[in-house]
Structure 1
Amino acid sequence: MGWFADSGYWLGRLLFQRGLAALYLIAFLTAAAQFRPLLGEHGLLPVPRLLARTRFRDLPSLFHAHYSDRAFAAVAWTGAVASAALLAGAGDRMPLSAAMALWALVWALYLSIVNVGQTWYAFGWETLLLEAGFLAVFLGNDDTAPPVLVLWLLRWLLFRLEFGAGLIKMRGDRCWRDLTCLYYHHETQPMPGPLSWFFHHLPRPVHRAETAANHVAQLAAPVVLFAPQPASGIAAAFMVVTQLWLVVSGNFAWLNWLTIVLALSVMAGPPAARLVDAGTPHYAATPGWFEALVLALTVLVAVLSYRPARNMLSRRQLMNASFEPLHLVNTYGAFGSVGRTRYEVVVEGTRDPGFAAAGRTPGALGTGTGTGAVRWEEYGFRGKPGDVRRMPRQFAPYHLRLDWLMWFAALSPSYAGAWLPGLLDRLLDNDPAVLRLLRANPFPDAPPTAVRARLYRYRFTDWRELRATGAWWHRTLVGDYVHPVTRTR
């Protein structure tokens, strides 16, 4: 059948499957390392509490059958092992049905995590990974020719991802239309990387060119994805270049890398495959049941695409939304508005005995009663800005979930009300699980008597300030974010 006859896309399928498996592996390792303090039975937003008030039909997850921290760890590590096997090519060394089952297992395990992840998993790249992972189930393996219909569904996903992001920018902040957003973005983005300081100090004409190139990549190139080769491959290659620019200028977990992997499925089409000296693949006849499943998938995606497509064309376009609990076909977008000023929540603690004498209810907010000068010590986070002399680090595609939520907390306390009091309460106990999420604990020997959070305005230093002080940031105190919190001892 013509839907399976185009063997020129074997390279695109190979690169997509291997890249997707690598990103699945990173996602499961991230979950295994961070779930206990964030989502565990005694976490900041415990999964059992969520399961008690939700139904399986609303949030499909294996954890509705049973939840424990051991069960979560088992799911995360099983997903990691299965992803590693797919990355090593196990899917091509087993029968087609077994390979599909392995891809489906990885998808179901990660869906189970995302659907109980609450605000820690409320990111567009989570649903993007699930949607791409569901399509991967139907891509087949070395036993079958690449199913062209599924490859076109990958293009449709890439189109919605990029075009939706482009539209939400043009409908949103004026700076996208006057090409000035990149004057601010490198400094105010959620988690700057080691080169963000340098990108921020590029000449303004370069920033305008960056913004214009972004519009080409997100509003023009996606349309060309549906053109014949080599035009579609060239459009995908341009997307890869722009995504690599984002990779080196910031930390966006696996969003950029997954976009690149999707683009490679287009870019590595017949013209690129002919450049690889691997001979022409020979495939067995495609099973009828597999053809039927691919056709059913295509119809399903077409039906479920109605609401995302309508949302994309709406003046009230939603950003990063799912319309059904399996996250099969979603809508995407990013940075409809760009902040002009960077704020950071800095968490501090003290061992001042005056606070110990003024015990309060655990987790309650207060103003503290310490007398005289109180020495406050700052907690260090792994990725978000804190110490002004610490150069920003590169963490993506690994996802530092707490650091990202701290960025949202600085935008508005409404983003932090559900979990920040619990975080401060855990710090008063020197909770080992929570402290493993941090870079530095100023109280390794005994817990603090009080903790607080303060809001600072951060800006990148200029070249002169960097040479004179060694500081990458300059910060100015805005005021208290959370007044000192103490515990009854």
Structure 2
Amino acid sequence: MDWVGEALTAEGYEVGRQIVQRGVAAVYLVAFVSALNQFPALLGEKGLLPVPEYLERAGRRPGPTLFRRGYTDRRLRAVGWTGVVVSAALVLGGPQAGPPWLPLVAFLLIWWLYTSIVNVGQVFYGFGWESLLLEAGFIVAFLGSDEVAPPFLVLLMLRWLVFRLEFGAGMIKMRGDRSWRDLTALNYHHETQPMPNPASRFFHLLPKPLHRVEVAGNHMTQLLVPWLLFAPQPVAGFAALVMILTQGWLVLSGNFAWLNVLTIILAFAAVPDSFYSALVPALSLGDAYAPTPPWFTGVVVLAMLLLAYLSWPSLLNLFARHQLMNAGFNRWHLGNAYGAFGSVTKVRYEVVIEGTLDDMGPGAQWREYGFKGKPGDPARRPRQFAPYHLRLDWMMWFLALGSERGWFTPLLVKLLQADPQTLGLLRDDPFDGAPPRYIRARVFIYRFSTRQEKRDTGLWWIREPQGVLVHPASLRAGAR
């Protein structure tokens, strides 16, 4: 069995293992902190879409979760804080300093804890990067500890995950929207993306010929380069570096939660130690490892065979005529199909929520609720939040596109009640905790100001009213 273990090890990837293990753990840490901060208000016992009511309706459909026998906000916090502690230990490298079973157990624990959250998270956890994080955490669990060499099969499975992520995104773009095919998508995307960041306006105002170059480069990186991940070194390593650079470009230009950061982390699984030694010749790598225990080799082989089997539907999906985007094929979120922005919106619509303490009439003073990340006040510069995920702000973007799945009316009711949990999700409560008499929602078109408009007005956004989504409503009897 020793020769089998030796054949399945990759001694030249220690730096990559450290980056992947600690990086994935860091993203889990962010995800658990996000859950602690937002889950109770969005999905808790008194949230917009309460989990207890969802479990009663859904039965066993949500999939495996620790909350199957009952959800409480207290249990959610216990799950979240446990995830924070274990993730932080992995970031610091504590479990990795022990035997190979220790990081295996630690990663599987945070994977299971976060699976429990995602499977009851409903629309607020329906993003592709949730499944990506779960799948990545499961695979990374089998990378072993510092005592043994990184398992080659696990590194190969991580490359396969990055391939599905990038190639799937490239194919969905080519199939989904003409603007990707005619190279005009980035004439709009930086302005209409869900949550622009401080640099998005700069990227949007770049010359259109440069946008065409950007789109062409994106197609090359997503459709051609991923195949090179399976080539011999140093080709695979250079392919990974190309992906890392292009994903870094996306980090600079937008707020996509942890999607881009996690992709960068996973791509390091294909970068060999020789690359780092070439940069820093004095760097000491490749210290002698202990022999890999036969039981660990057996566990790794079985787990990777399981993942290969579960990946078969996603492989077929990559070449299917009607490709699915961000789809799961099992209740464990393993072997998923990925993809992003198969279509690009050409105009940015925003829903603005306003309230008033006055009676209805032409003299009523309407004040705007401010969100943390989504555009609102035209004079406010977009902020950087990624890899942190502002879930309500993202859902407001989908709402402006006409997608609402039962959470918006409860949000308006909570604002009319001046619910402290809900107000905690916002940047600005114009009534300082007092309940408004009426509330309404209006629709605007937003666009980035031109350079001249920015100099003249100081505004980051120019907006034009388009109509009313929700007419003035009140909870008070006899209100008019």
Match of 1:359 in 2: none
Q: Is 1:188–1:342's contact at 8 Å kept on the other side of the alignment?
A: yes
CA deviation after TM superposition for structure 1 residue 59, in Å: 1.2
For the pair 1:284 / 2:290, whether they are aligned, the reply is yes
CA deviation after TM superposition for structure 1 residue 148, in Å: 0.1
Matches within 5 A, 1:350-429: 350-352=356-358, 354=359, 370-412=360-402, 415-429=403-417
CA deviation after TM superposition for structure 1 residue 302, in Å: 1.6
Aligned-partner SS, 2:322 = coil
Q: Is 2:163–2:229's contact at 8 Å kept on the other side of the alignment?
A: yes
Matches within 5 A, 1:58-77: 58-77=62-81
Matched letter for residue 245 of structure 2 = V
Match of 2:435 in 1: 447
Match of 2:175 in 1: 171
Q: Equivalents in 1 of 2:434, 2:301: separation in Å?
A: 62
Q: Equivalents in 2 of 1:281, 1:436: separation in Å?
A: 50
Aligned-partner SS, 1:144 = coil
Match of 1:221 in 2: 225
Match of 1:328 in 2: 334
Match of 1:124 in 2: 128
Q: Equivalents in 2 of 1:54, 1:3: separation in Å?
A: 47
For the pair 1:295 / 2:301, whether they are aligned, the reply is yes
CA deviation after TM superposition for structure 1 residue 51, in Å: 1.4
If the length of structure 1 is used for normalisation, what is the TM-score?
0.94
Q: Is 1:430–1:447's contact at 8 Å kept on the other side of the alignment?
A: yes
Q: Is 1:103–1:136's contact at 8 Å kept on the other side of the alignment?
A: yes
Q: Is 2:311–2:334's contact at 8 Å kept on the other side of the alignment?
A: no
Match of 2:142 in 1: 138
Deviations 1:232-252 (A, max 9, x none): 111110111111110010100
Deviations 1:358-388 (A, max 9, x none): xxxxxxxxxxxx2332211000000000000
Q: Equivalents in 2 of 1:84, 1:182: separation in Å?
A: 37
- Alpha-carbon distance change, 2 to 285 in structure 1, aligned in 2, over 3 angstroms: closer
For the pair 1:430 / 2:436, whether they are aligned, the reply is no
For the pair 1:158 / 2:148, whether they are aligned, the reply is no
Instruction: Tell me which of 192, 200, 207 is aligned to 2:204.
Output: 200
Q: Is 1:9–1:273's contact at 8 Å kept on the other side of the alignment?
A: no
CA deviation after TM superposition for structure 1 residue 445, in Å: 5.0
| Alignment: residue pair count | 471
Match of 1:341 in 2: 347
Aligned-partner SS, 1:64 = coil
The more displaced of 113-122 and 285-294 is: 285-294
Q: Equivalents in 1 of 2:156, 2:6: separation in Å?
A: 13
Matched letter for residue 307 of structure 2 = V
Match of 1:231 in 2: 235
Q: Is 1:3–1:149's contact at 8 Å kept on the other side of the alignment?
A: no
Aligned-partner SS, 2:57 = coil
The more displaced of 142-151 and 49-58 is: 49-58
- Alpha-carbon distance change, 377 to 3 in structure 1, aligned in 2, over 3 angstroms: farther
Q: Equivalents in 1 of 2:160, 2:36: separation in Å?
A: 32
Matched letter for residue 38 of structure 1 = L
Q: Equivalents in 1 of 2:434, 2:245: separation in Å?
A: 49
Deviations 1:147-176 (A, max 9, x none): 000100000000000000000001111111
CA deviation after TM superposition for structure 1 residue 57, in Å: 6.8
Q: Equivalents in 1 of 2:427, 2:58: separation in Å?
A: 35
Matched letter for residue 31 of structure 1 = A
CA deviation after TM superposition for structure 1 residue 137, in Å: 1.1
Q: Is 2:164–2:338's contact at 8 Å kept on the other side of the alignment?
A: yes
For the pair 1:106 / 2:96, whether they are aligned, the reply is no
Match of 2:11 in 1: 7
Unaligned runs of 5+ in 2: none
Match of 1:365 in 2: none
If the length of structure 2 is used for normalisation, what is the TM-score?
0.96
Q: Is 2:96–2:102's contact at 8 Å kept on the other side of the alignment?
A: no
Q: Is 1:233–1:269's contact at 8 Å kept on the other side of the alignment?
A: no
CA deviation after TM superposition for structure 1 residue 461, in Å: 0.8
Q: Equivalents in 1 of 2:410, 2:248: separation in Å?
A: 37
CA deviation after TM superposition for structure 1 residue 315, in Å: 1.2
Aligned-partner SS, 2:224 = helix
Matched letter for residue 349 of structure 2 = Y
For the pair 1:262 / 2:262, whether they are aligned, the reply is no
Structure 1 vs Structure 2: percent identity of aligned residues?
Answer: 55
Q: Is 1:455–1:481's contact at 8 Å kept on the other side of the alignment?
A: yes
Instruction: Tell me which of 456, 461, 465 is aligned to 1:473.
Output: 461
